[in-house]
Amino acid sequence: MVKPGRPVTIVLPCFRRATSIELDTCFLPIKLPPAGELPALEMLSISGNIVDLGAFLNRCPRLRVLRVTFRGVKPGTLELAIAALQAAAALGLVVSRIGIKFDYIDGRQNIDGACFASLLGAVATLSPLEFFFENGFREWTEADMLCFPHTTSIEMNLYRLRFKQLPAGEFSALERLSLSGCTLVNLVTMVSRCPRLRVLKVIADKFARDVTIHSASLQELQICVTERSWCRRIDIRTPLLKQLNLNVHGNTALTVSIMAPLLEQVSWRWEYAELPLMFGFWSLRMMKLVTAESNNGKDGVLNNDTQDACSPHPHINVLSLHVVHASYRLGAAMNFVAEIEKIPVTNFSVLELHISQRGHVYGPFLLRLFGMHHIRTAIRSLKVILPWHEISGIQGCLENFPCDEPTNWRSQNISLDNLAEVEIDNFRGGDRGTDFLTLIFKWAPMLKRMTVRISPQIEQDKFKACAMDTHNIFSVYHSVNCSLFIQHTSIPSPCS
């Protein structure tokens, strides 16, 4: 039994007949066999706080391939280990992977910029097939990126670090590049020097006004633009791109140009810094579009398309709008059609609306939204998510407040001819809620399924009235499969 707090060292036994060994001890120290050879060992994969790596390599005469990840190793010990790897590589050892991770053990173990530059230079001379480095700097640090001509994969999680200078050489073998927590001053030049790059995951430099990705080989792109005041333009030209993950925190002034004709899967997240106004007093806080797999109707989309029905996992695009009533904070008016057109994929069939109405009427907002051609003709499935509970101190809107305009919204008619399924979560009923529910049935003549979940936080005196009013509406539409959920209990309606 090891007593708590007592340091633990794992001693690797001497496996004389083993040809391959794989060992991961996380941050625990690994002490390699003190004596004796491993005459049969050809492949070694080891991860942890490794002690005396150089002495161990001298006792493995047939070792040909090494994958090593240093975790929790002190910088001085790490430099000695890399020097030993350089000597072994000169004799024919293939260093398949080098990983360096400074863990949070007994306080924050990290390194300064000079030590990082020294370690990066030592690893660059080895140019392993895969390279991983993780560290957090106490202060913002700048460094030069070095060239790894034979490396196929580079992943760096380096918080508070900026690569300012790029090497003159080419990353001729690089296929995967991931930079997290750090920035790259010249992303355009870096990509141009990676002719075989297939996967790029990077945070754009916070000082860059333009984010430009032009690549003839890229197939997967994940880019994060978090600086709201600097970035003004995103320009992506990737003829072979199939997967795009774009995370932007900015405003409507940001222009987007994307040329990716083979694009199949998209994850688009756009957070608006200034809460621009959509319709009247409603602001758009976030817009997302995600490509998901459809299970032929089981995921919430009733699928009548023959081609999709024959496909085992057809893709659908889900558009999510997070909307808040902005009576307390008014941003600039936006052109919502123009914002939708910035998304590289517009054939979305599922619409999710997260509405924080703060006691205000949301029927007129939905009337205007559904009246747009982009929305009206696209959606086949609608999900409305209302707040879980009323915010403390927020009361219903004042009489004659403009959120109820146009006042004749209850008598308006919209043809949502493709809408087949509707879900409403955290429904609270009331005159305005039941009016909207009735209009959905009126606006969607092809509706096949309606699901309403009553909020579990609804007041006790309103609970029964909400359930009965919803049930009565359901009973009128016998052709629609209706379900009412009350506190996670399904109550089938007479029309189900």
Strand spans (E) along 175-241: 176-184, 199-204, 210-214, 220-225, 233-237
Binned at pLDDT 50, 70 and 90, residue 104 comes out as: low
Which is higher by pLDDT, 471 or 456? Answer: 471
Does residue 48 contact residue 32 with C-beta atoms inside 8 Å? no
- Claim: this prediction has a pTM higher than 0.85: no
Contact 65, 41 (CB under 8 A): no
Cβ–Cβ < 8 Å for 83, 54: yes
Cα–chain-centroid distance for residue 117? 30
Helical spans, DSSP H, in 138-240: 187-192
68-82, 120-134, 422-436 — most confident range: 120-134
- Using alpha carbons only, what angle is made at residue 169 by residues 168 and 172, rounded to the nearest 5 degrees? 150
- pLDDT tens track for 384-436: 998 775 543 344 554 555 555 566 666 677 888 899 999 999 888 876 778 88
Q: Give the Cα separation of 237 and 16 in Å (integer).
A: 54
pLDDT at 277: 76
b vs e for 95-114, b when ≥16 Cβ sit within 10 Å of the residue's Cβ?
A: bbbbbbbbbeeeeebbbeee
CA distance 397 to 361: 8
Question: Stretch 71-95: mean pLDDT, rounded?
Answer: 89
| Residue 226 burial (CB count, 10 A) | 13
State how beta strands 10-11 and 20-31 pair. Answer: parallel
pLDDT in tens, 12-38: 666 667 788 787 766 566 666 666 677
Q: Which residues, in sequence order, are bridge partners of residue 199?
A: 176, 220
CA proximity to 375, closest of 406, 351, 402:
351
192-230 pLDDT tens trace: 999 999 999 998 766 667 889 999 999 999 998 876 556
Name which residue leads in pLDDT, 84 or 282.
84
Domain ranges of the chain: 274-496
Q: Between 303 and 234, where is the model more confident?
A: 234
Average pLDDT of the chain, as a whole number = 81
